[in-house]
Structure 1
Amino acid sequence: MLTYFSQFLSHEMSFVPQYQEQVSTNYGVEHRTPKCCGVYNPHKECYPIQVLYQDPKYTGGGCMEFVRSLSVSYTSSVCHLQLLGIHREQLVVSTSFIDASNIYGNSEEVARKLRTEEGNGAKLLVDSHSSYLLLLPRDVKECRSSDRGCNNRCFIAGDTRSTLTPAISSLHTLFMREHNRLVDLLANKGWDSETLYQEVRKIIGAMFQHIVDKHYKPLILGEHYVKEYDKPYFEYDDTINPTTYNSFTAAAFRLHSMVHDWIKRKDVPVEGAPNLVHDYFRQDEYCDLSTDPVTRVLIGITQQRAQKVGYYFAHDMRHYLFSSSRNVLGHDILATDIQRGRDHGLPGYVKWREWCKLKPVTNIEELYSEMLYGAVEKLQMIYRHIEDIDLIVGGLIERHVPGGLVGPTFACLIARQFKTMKYGDRFWYEHLNFPGAFTQAQLNEIKKTTLAALICRNTDEQYIQRDVFRPVGNNNPLQPCQVINAEAQLDLSHWGALILY
């Protein structure tokens, strides 16, 4: 669950689109990603990954497709920057806050399309043909299914990557269900549909922020980095620029080594689970409606241990990323992440250690005390100079901070990013001193929220561990959902009066 919630959160915090070119067709103008390999005169935005002939998987060597991230140099207002010799910058098209925009969309236009009653209703759209509350499908050819009736069906959600894997789809569906559940419970307040929608959206956003800040973040960073970058109380700082850091988006928060070669389903043994390549943009889970697919997936990943953050990557992530089957080689996630960091012009690993005021290193032998066992020898085989080590490579193979899941360089970068997005957000859920803020009583109710409670309230599961980011054990036993619901149930009487904005 920690693995896929990390991915769900990364989609919420950053979306850097690749360059696309306009192509005229019989149906009008389409935007397509240019082809870079096997092309006589590739597009200037191509930056393909060259594969050596010695590669054991891509036999004979070759070329792996890679297109550069869209940059601000393509907007008319700043095209003169290139002429002035100013460096290239990338665009993040998501909001620079933890605000549940991946659920609701990051523009008014998208938000309206996700609502009922032609964009004016209080609820989010659902698939009316399903016996379960599922996201509304849309016709997109990249989504596929073994069932012909489900082919080309992707989900409509606030983020276009909502159908990437069944785990991501299930988290999107979970928050949609919670939104619609709260709309039903608050419908007796006498509010019009716009007020009802906005109030529930604000509650869902606060729940999401609370889960991230109080339950998720400490597991990633450990106690030391949480204390160093957090205050004992919330205080909005209007001098903070909450923009997403390039180093965060292109390296520090790419925790892809946690992903397994399969996604576990409830009551399905590991041997029976489909491999990961089968699950890319696959809709099979949502065609078999004999049981709730969201329950099957979410409970499955609460029972599956994540891989360690480090230099081992799942087989399907290294060789078959976004492939249609194991008969067709796909992308290599680590090679792609390294190339993305270079595309974005990130300084090397040792520069970031210096920026984070960590112990300086001047030669590769000094990294023995900093790196995971066996990592330094691999670095010596690959890099000629210590300054050449890519940020994502050096950051992934550091020894983890006490109580955390990443090394000190990534802990520093991630902690700083979370700090700016929290204390630079005037609408952060704990900020009580602005028009439209939660009351203290409402805030106390929000703080009851756990991800386990959201799962219990919106699936048919009966038992779950309180902390779904940790495996079941003596300190985290299974609990009846009835008990977890009682502990986290919001007292909605505190939302009795109309809130003026």
Structure 2
Amino acid sequence: ALFNMYCHSLTKLQLVSSVVVDSSGWCTASGSLFSRAKEAIGEKDASPSDFLKHLKDPVAGTRSAIRAADYMETTLSLLKKKLRRLVKGKFNITDVLSRKQKEIISKATGCDYQIRSIKCPKSSIYRTITGECNNRKHSYLGASNHGYARWLPAEYEDGVSLPKGLTEGKLYNGFPLPLVRDSNENVTQDQERSLIFMQWGQWVDHDLDLAPFTTTKIDNKEVHCETSCTFEPPCFPIQIPPDDPRIKDPNTCMPFVRTAPVCNARTFTREQINAITSFLDASMVYGSEVPLAKSIRNQTNQLGLMALNQNFTDAGLGLLPFENKSQSLCLFTNKAMNIPCFKAGKSLSQIHKSFPHHNQMSASTAPVIALSWSLFIITYRDYLPLLLGDETEKEIPCYTGYDESEDPTVANVFSLAFRFGHSSIQPFVNRLDEHFQPLGPHSQVPLHLTFCASWRVVMEGGIDPLLRGLLVDHAKLMKQNQMVVEELQERLFEQVEIIGLDLAALNLQRGRDHGLPGYNAWRQFCGLSQPRNLAELSEVLRNPELARKFMDLYGTPDNIDIWIGAMAEPFVPNGRVGPLLACIIGSQFRKLRDGDRFWWENPGVFTPQQRQALSSSSLPRVLCDNTRIREVPRDVFKVNRYPEDFVNCRMIDSIDLSPWRQRSN
């Protein structure tokens, strides 16, 4: 009877057209296996949610992994509904299933296949595109289309999958959770960090994690997260507070789609999928799946170069190819221009929240080594010390070699914590000419008008003017009363007269969607004090007024959402994050380094001569080699003035490639 219920539940998913139980007790399905919720946009204008969906839409093998997890989760949910009539009181469905029954469900849903371990070759000197077999003993560690790591157990409203804050009036530690939407204004310039410091952090983040949206439809319902203000999976809409300064309609909400789950046959607790590799391997350029990686390469020769755009160039330098889609979202940012989105290893990188140009740095014929291995060195030698300040050596001690027991998988909490960079984004995008002067009358563009606007790269001067702006502009300084600019909090992905999204609210809602524990749980995890009252929280934040606001909203520091609580902490000395973020970010980057068999300093990966050559890698050199910019600062992450802080590219050391030629001989 149980498995008849299970088989029936598959048809409820609308993912199969018919299903029967064969003589051996297995479910046999026929018809379509997957129905994607994404609808064709057609001739209508694109909404802000359409742009967000486009960036989070699962592709290739990610869809198969999500499909299996959706089968599993929805099947268990439907089984629980049917068994409520037979089991009294509250119960977890996995508690009433035998081990054998769980195994059968895991196989029938496809989860068993998704979480299988593969046999790795004894000798492999190159990374796989999927990240598999970096760790030969545990082939899936750090691989794409697997779950995030959990450093603390997930906290869901029902203990399994429902996000906290879902049930109105429900108390947590004796208090209800507040709505995630709030307002903020004003900007203070960072007098020590350049805007490219912010941009590098987002560039690195897009190399480490991507959490696509789920697309399941349940119980024969067509779910429209764009318009629905009730919790109907996969929708978890953001409710609008009654005193909202912008949105006055009490029946309005902000759309929000839950992150797609991944198979978790061990505990059956909802876990989110990371669609790309956890390693610093430039996967945002080259992809994390074989079909995608092949599709963005030049297949006319064996050089392994990126495919280039056949319609346009950037003043003679190659641009990435366009998406092969008749309804590319970027078309809607300027219909007259008819310019689709660029295609790359990760859509979020080339249609960035701020600029659509990142992958261009690898689109020339410069050796791949100049980008891939420079990514390691620039991040750990130049970027992280400016971010973590005096906590750098404590959190990321000197390298002692590859540790097979270290799990490099990106942690779920890191995927939220590293969004601290949203607080450093300026409200305008500046484009400068070769003399670092404003590029024409429209050199400064409001941020929201650059989202997904690939036409601006093609028609308004290319990549170089954007990079020059990054080099001389200041990052925004994160202050406790100036966290995220209004361009991101009120106009995210706004291109037409439709209410834009709120990035801060999305971050807070995403933390609850992912079941992340609250502020104090992470303070304890990091060995920091856990404030219990207003006085103690005031001391931690060094701001009694902000502490009181938190206490009024949350009731207790235990309930403070991790993203905003960690962001609110004063910076560590010489850094740009507080102690909690320094701990989480530092721990993640240490694991990424020590658990990576291909880390550039690991003996056997490179010769001593090659390591010496790589040590001269620098972001200024990458810019000189891949753009027409001829003057750069030596230290690009710090604030620089033109021309006094700039030098000619001839003064910037290049990587000596002769150690590789000698090895090949």
**TM score, norm. by length of structure 1:** 0.84
Residue type of the alignment partner of 1:412 = C
The superposition leaves residues 234-261 of structure 1 with CA deviations (integer Å, 9 ceiling, x where unpaired) of 4111110111111110234442111111
Partner of 2:272: helix, strand, or coil? Answer: coil
Query: Contact 1:320–1:331 at 8 Å: present in 2 too?
Result: yes
Structure 1, unmatched stretches of 5+, are 24-32, 183-199
2:538 corresponds to which residue?
368
Deviation at 1:344, TM superposition (A): 0.7
1:445 corresponds to which residue?
613
Counterpart Cα distance in 1 of 2:211 and 2:198:
20
Deviation at 1:271, TM superposition (A): 7.9
Kindly indicate whether residue 217 of structure 2 is the aligned counterpart of residue 19 of structure 1: no
Partner of 2:375: helix, strand, or coil? Answer: helix
Kindly indicate whether residue 233 of structure 2 is the aligned counterpart of residue 67 of structure 1: no
Deviation at 1:170, TM superposition (A): 2.4
1:295 corresponds to which residue?
464
Query: Contact 2:404–2:595 at 8 Å: present in 1 too?
Result: yes
Counterpart Cα distance in 2 of 1:447 and 1:143:
39
Q: Which runs of structure 2 are paired with 1:162-201 in the superposition (5 Å)?
A: 162-165=349-352, 168-177=355-364, 180-182=365-367, 200=368
Counterpart Cα distance in 2 of 1:476 and 1:285:
30
2:106 corresponds to which residue?
none
Q: Give 1:109's match in structure 2, choosing from 291, 298, 301.
A: 291
Q: Give 1:334's match in structure 2, choosing from 496, 504, 516.
A: 504
Kindly indicate whether residue 272 of structure 2 is the aligned counterpart of residue 90 of structure 1: yes
Counterpart Cα distance in 1 of 2:418 and 2:351:
21
The superposition leaves residues 388-433 of structure 1 with CA deviations (integer Å, 9 ceiling, x where unpaired) of 1111111011010001100000110000000000010000111123
Q: Give 1:305's match in structure 2, choosing from 469, 474, 493.
A: 474
Larger gyration radius, structure 1 or structure 2? 2
Structure 2, unmatched stretches of 5+, are 1-195
2:372 corresponds to which residue?
205
Partner of 1:467: helix, strand, or coil? Answer: coil
Query: Contact 1:4–1:168 at 8 Å: present in 2 too?
Result: no
Q: Which runs of structure 2 are paired with 1:4-403 in the superposition (5 Å)?
A: 4-21=199-216, 34-36=223-225, 38-39=227-228, 43-61=232-250, 62-72=252-262, 75=263, 78=264, 86-117=268-299, 120-132=302-314, 133-138=318-323, 139=325, 140-144=327-331, 148=335, 150-151=337-338, 153-165=340-352, 168-177=355-364, 180-182=365-367, 200=368, 202=369, 204-223=371-390, 225-266=391-432, 267-268=437-438, 272-288=443-459, 291=461, 293-311=462-480, 312=482, 313-325=484-496, 327-371=497-541, 373=543, 374-403=545-574
Residue type of the alignment partner of 2:241 = L
2:589 corresponds to which residue?
418
Partner of 2:233: helix, strand, or coil? Answer: coil
Structure-2 change in CA distance of 1:280 and 1:34 (3 Å): farther
Partner of 1:15: helix, strand, or coil? Answer: coil
Alignment length (residue pairs): 453
Q: Which runs of structure 2 are paired with 1:458-497 in the superposition (5 Å)?
A: 458-472=626-640, 477-484=645-652, 487=653, 489-497=654-662
**TM score, norm. by length of structure 2:** 0.64
Greater helix proportion: 1
Partner of 2:204: helix, strand, or coil? Answer: helix
Higher relative CO (Cα under 8 Å, sequence separation at least 6) belongs to 2
Deviation at 1:121, TM superposition (A): 4.2
Query: Contact 1:142–1:152 at 8 Å: present in 2 too?
Result: no
Partner of 2:271: helix, strand, or coil? Answer: coil
Alignment root-mean-square deviation, CA: 2.6
Counterpart Cα distance in 2 of 1:496 and 1:411:
40
Structure-2 change in CA distance of 1:446 and 1:216 (3 Å): same
The superposition leaves residues 354-402 of structure 1 with CA deviations (integer Å, 9 ceiling, x where unpaired) of 1111123121321222226442232133222221111111101101000
Query: Contact 1:150–1:287 at 8 Å: present in 2 too?
Result: no
Counterpart Cα distance in 2 of 1:210 and 1:256:
23
